[in-house]
Amino acid sequence: MLRRQAFARFNCIITPKAITRSKYSTVSGSDVARTKVPFKNITIFGSGMMGSGIAQVSAANEYHVNLVDLNKGALDRSQQYILSSLKRIARKKTTDERMQTNYIDEVLSRINFTTESEHAVASSDMVIEAVVENIEIKQNLFKSLDPMASPQTLFVSNTSSLKIKDIFRDVSEKRKERIGGLHFFNPVPQMKLLEVIKTDTTKQEVFDTLFNYGVSVGKVCVVCKDMPGFIVNRLLVPYMLEAVKMLERGDASAKDIDIAMKYGAGYPMGPFELLDYVGLDTTYFVAKGWYEDSEIQKMELVKPPSVLKKLVEAGNLGIKSGKGFYEHRK
Minimal distance, residue 42 CB to ligand CAA, in Å: 19
Query: Hey, is 110 helix, strand or coil?
Result: coil
Strand 41-45's sheet: what is its strand order?
A: 111-114, 64-68, 41-45, 126-129, 154-157, 179-183, 193-197, 220-224
Is 64 marked active-site?
A: no
135 binds ligand CAA (CB under 6 A): no
Give the residue nearest to ligand CAA (CB). Answer: 160
Interaction residues for ligand CAA, span 149-178 (CB under 6 A): 160
For strands 154-157 and 179-183, give the pairing.
parallel
Tell me which stretch binds ligand CAA (CB under 6 A): 189-197, 254-262, 300-308, 312-320: 189-197
Minimal distance, residue 106 CB to ligand CAA, in Å: 16
In Å, how far are 24, 109, 211, 213 from 15, measured between CA atoms? 15, 35, 18, 19
Is 233 marked active-site?
A: yes
Is 78 marked active-site?
A: no
Under 8 Å between Cβ of 154 and 125: yes
Taking the C-alpha atoms of residue 30 and residue 52, their distance in angstroms, rounded to an integer, is 30
94 binds ligand CAA (CB under 6 A): no
Minimal distance, residue 311 CB to ligand CAA, in Å: 17
141 binds ligand CAA (CB under 6 A): no
Which CB atom, from 133 or from 177, has the smaller least distance to ligand CAA? Answer: 133
Interaction residues for ligand CAA, span 236-265 (CB under 6 A): 236
In Å, how far are 12, 38, 134 from 160, measured between CA atoms? 23, 26, 11
| Residues of the binding site for NAD(+) | 46-51, 69, 133, 138, 160, 186, 320
| Residues of the binding site for CoA | 85, 92, 160
Catalytic residue ranges:
160, 183, 195, 233
